[in-house]
Amino acid sequence: WSYSKILSICAMSVGVGYIIRSVIAPFCSLIYGNFGTGISMAGLVYMILMLYEGVNAETGLTGNKKIYVHAACLGITFLITFLF
């Protein structure tokens, strides 16, 4: 598996999650405050699932290696997403 493919999968999932949480959710909160919060959480869950499935399809790892790779990718993605 290549670094550029993993990086593009991570960037695509973070980009979609960011658009949902930063663009769509504020507009939905204008309708009803809790609706915007629900859309924001749905965007976060969608980002995690998209990242997990994309990395899983690309790497094809099994067992403990799969868990370690997913934990590292999710950890780095969360750091980048929430710190910047």
Instruction: Render 48-74 in DSSP notation, one character per residue.
Output: HHHHHHHHHHHH---THHHHHHHHHHH
- Which pLDDT does position 1 carry in this prediction? 66
pLDDT for the residue numbered 84: 66
Spatial distance between the Cα atoms of 33 and 24, rounded to a whole number of angstroms: 13
Query: Average pLDDT of the chain?
Result: 83
Instruction: State which residues of the chain have pLDDT below 50.
Output: none
